[in-house]
């Protein structure tokens, strides 16, 4: 994300991490698989470029609340693991 704000050196960033792009979501309709959501979170961690990231939960529309919760937890854990791995490498 540093390329988006080249003149700014933030101490942290905030992003809304949504799962409504998931395939079958009533509102998102972007048709990402769970692997696609995981890849997105890994990309966000790389783009954060070592700057701490506050990520909020959002989206996810459907009838199966546990499945939506699973998508959120998967995305949260993936982002956390990727950020920790990137921090250890740096």
6 in any annotated domain: no
First to last CA, the chain: 16
Do residues 49 and 2 make contact, with C-beta atoms less than 8 angstroms apart?
A: yes
pTM across the whole model:
0.77
Which residue range(s) make up the domain with 40?
Answer: 13-89
Question: Domains in the chain: how many in total?
Answer: 1
Residue 65 lies in a domain: yes
Do the domain assignments include residue 18? yes
- b/e per residue 52-89 (b: at least 16 CB within 10 A): ebebeeebbebeeeeebeebbebbeebbeebbeeeeee
Average pLDDT taken over every residue of the chain:
83
Residue 83 reports pLDDT greater than 70: yes
Is position 5 within any domain? no
Q: Which residue has the tokens 């699973």?
A: 70
- Report yes or no on 47 lying in a domain: yes
The 10s digit of each residue's pLDDT in 39-67 is 999 999 988 888 888 888 888 888 899 99
Is residue 80 scored above 80 in pLDDT? yes
Whole-number percent of the chain with pLDDT over 90 = 31
């Amino acid at each position: 994300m540093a390329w988006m704000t080249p003149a700014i050196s933030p101490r942290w960033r905030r992003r809304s991490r949504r799962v409504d792009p998931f395939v079958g979501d009533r509102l998102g309709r972007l048709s990402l698989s769970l692997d696609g959501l995981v890849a997105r979170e890994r990309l966000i961690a790389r783009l954060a470029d070592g700057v701490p990231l506050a990520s909020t939960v959002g989206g996810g529309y459907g009838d199966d609340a546990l499945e939506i919760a699973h998508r959120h937890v998967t995305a949260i854990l993936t982002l956390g693991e990727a950020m920790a791995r990137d921090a250890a490498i740096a």
